[in-house]
Structures are given as structure tokens and as C-alpha cells.
Amino acid sequence: MKTFAIQPVDRSMQPAIQHKIDNLNKPKGSLGRLEELAMQVCLVQHTLSPSLAHPCHLLLGGDHGIEREGVSVSPREVTWQQMLNFTRGGGAVNMFCRQHRFTLRIVDVGVDYDFSGVDGILDRKIARGTANFLHGPAMTEEQFDRALQVGSYLVDHCVAEGCRILSIGEMGIANTSPSSIWMHLLTNTPLEECIGAGAGLNDEGIRHKYQILSQAVSNYLHNTPNPEQSTTRPLVYFGGFEMMAAIGAMLRAAGQKLIILIDGFIMTACAMAAIRLRPAAQDYMIFTHCGDESGHKKMLDAIGAKPLLHLGLRLGEGTGALCAFPLVDSAVRMVNEMNNFQGAQITKYF
């Protein structure tokens, strides 16, 4: 695995930041989570005057071999059809990026489709989808490394443009399946508590999904010596190319001291994996919402993450992260633009 150097956030400025926040012309602590967000952003950027310059959004696409087992209500062609829709500006991710002025990059990391000649999609394809992990590893170690590097290089490009805050989304039919298995293996949560409806499975579909994923995990444990001793092994065995690229992007973004907005169930699974690989990465992450996918709250709890929103979202694409951006923006504006008691000539009453 590529070396990702990540420094824990330098907290030496914390008293000065807290003093500035406490002396804004408001009752102490009265802006709640906004004050916590302001503290985190200031610490990450090591400044009393933070900036959310040039926000970027990475939309990573990939297909999954496990889709062939009927674990998703949506067929795999929806992945490439949506990717094309994104190039025309017609997706939810497009609308939210326009609304909040994010630069959107649509990236093919492993979609089972030939996008040759299509404008607006970056070609970083590793393969046309992963292998079916019911029968063996989803990818090779070499493909795993390549996918991590894709995410890392994408972040470097954003940083070169002045990016200080990054959000990441995914498009990949059946990617709740590897996410559920990662949650099961990395948190020791019973598998049935990790599996949900995905894009809209009914009760029978969820039972079928559980049977397939349970057999896949059983096969993995039978064929993997000492599976509990490796973090990367379950990632390689079950993951998707777009998910690996997201992990690489998160690790590189943390190394570059960016604020990272974490979306829903799938991106939380990627964040959990990134934290297992490099624990310091969590200092740079803001968990934006808890969706309705079964197990999402438990996964957030397992990594000690407190989400900003609970809007019932389960779309993916990074939409939850984009919806939460105004809260982070408000926190930064608070610390930069509010007057203090002295400047406002208001008696400090605490």
C-alpha cells in the first residue's frame, strides 16, 4: 500500500481559538455545533481566520461483480447511465454542486462501460468492474494500490487549484454490499445488522442479500489465514474500485490538511477503513449526515462520529455532504465575521 503520511492535528492553538469563539458577541456556547465546527476547521488550518476556498467534489464511479447475484434492486447499467447523466448536469450531485459552488469532477475508476469520446468524465479506469467476491477476491493487490493512487492524484490536482475543503461521492450499483461486509468485519457487528435495503430492496430482497453476503463472508474466512490480523485484506477482497479511490482521496486529503466532508453509508465505510489504516485521518473529517440505510448509525457510533444531519437520505453521490456544507460555511463565517463584545461595545456578562 502506498505510504500516506498524516500528521495529527496540531492543537497548540486550541486555547486561542476557544478564546476567540467565546468572546464573539453571543452567550458562551450558544451556537452549539457551529462552535465545534469552527474549532475543528481552525485547528485543521492552524489559524484564527479559516477559509473554505475552492471547494471540490469528487464523484467516483465503479461497478461490482457481486451485483450479478441480485443483491441490488437496480441493474448495473444504471451506473453508466447515471454517469452520463452527470455529464449533462442532470443529477442531484450536479444541482447541489452548482448551488454551493463546488467544482465537480466525475471520475470513472471502474465502470463496466466504454466512455471513450465522452466529455466530462475523467478516465481513470482500472477494470470494467470488480470480480464477484462470492467466488474470490474482488480485486488484486496491484489494483488496490492503483485505486488508492487514483484518489491521491485527484486530491493533489484539487490542492493545486487552491482547494481547502473536499467532499467525495460515489456511483456504483451494489456498493452497499461491500460496505456492509466491511462494517461487519471491521466492527464485529453481526452481519444482519449491517445489511439494509440499499437502493430499495423489499424484505425478500434483503433476506436474499443477507444469504449471499453471509456465504461470501464464510468463503472469505475459510480461505483467509488469520483474517483478523489484516486491515487491508477485507478491503481488497470485498471492496470496489471507486471505494478504494475514495479511501486514497481521504488519506491524501488528510495529509494535505484539507477539511473532508464524509457522506452517507458507503463513504462512512470508506472513512472507517481510512481511519483503520491511518487513525490521524479522522481529525480532518466532518461526518455530515446519518442516512436511513440499516447500520449507518451503528457504524458512525463505532468510530465515534457525530453526524450533522439526519435527513433520511440514501442516494449517495455525496449529496449529504453537499447539503451539510452550508453549516460548515456558517461556522467559518461566524468565527471570521461576527464582532466581539469589545468591538460591539456590549457588556460581557460571563
Sign of the Cα pseudo-torsion (259, 264, 265, 266, in order)? negative
- 42 and 104 both lie in a single domain: no
Q: Mind listing the pLDDT tens digit for each residue in 128-162?
A: 999 999 999 999 999 999 999 999 999 999 999 99
For residue 8, tell me if it sits in a domain: no
**7 occurs within a structural domain:** no
Q: What backbone torsions phi and psi does residue 105 show, to the nearest 5 degrees? A: -120, 120
Burial (Cβ within 10 Å: 0-12, 13-18, ≥19) of residue 305: buried
- What is the per-residue pLDDT across 68-83, written as a single tens digit (0 to 9) for each? 999 998 999 999 999 9
Q: Residue 37 is part of which domain span?
A: 14-49+335-344
**Do 127 and 33 sit in the same domain of this protein?**
no
Q: Is residue 80 part of a domain?
A: yes
pLDDT at 350: 65
Q: Which residues of the chain have pLDDT under 70?
A: 1-2, 198-199, 227-229, 341, 344, 349-350
- What distance in Å separates the CA atoms of residue 162 and residue 52, rounded to the nearest whole number? 10
Q: Are 170 and 204 part of one and the same domain?
A: yes
Smallest Cα–Cα separation from 293: which of 315, 276, 322, 260?
A: 315
- Say whether both 42 and 61 belong to one domain: no
The verdict on 30 and 139 lying in the same domain is: no
Among 295, 133, 299, CA closest to 218: 133
CATH number, position 170: 3.40.50.10210
What is the reported pLDDT for 229? 66
Same domain, 29 and 94: no
DSSP 301-319: HHTT---SB-------TTH
Residue 276 belongs to a domain: yes
Shared domain check, 175 and 75? yes
Known active-site residue 317:
yes
Among 170, 242, 293, 317, which one carries the catalytic annotation?
A: 317
The pTM for the full model equals 0.95
CB atoms within 10 A of CB 161: 10
45/52 Cα distance (integer angstroms): 10
Do 211 and 258 fall into the same domain? yes
Provide the number of structural domains found in the chain. Answer: 2
d(C-alpha 110, C-alpha 218), whole Å: 26
Query: In the chain, what are the helix, strand and coil shares in percent, each to the nearest 5?
Result: 50, 10, 40
157 in the same domain as 39: no
Q: Does residue 295 contact residue 196 with C-beta atoms inside 8 Å?
A: yes
Check whether residue 188 and residue 211 sit in a common domain. yes
- What pLDDT, on a 0 to 100 scale, did the predictor assign at position 1? 57
Terminal C-alpha separation, the chain: 52
pLDDT at res. 101: 97
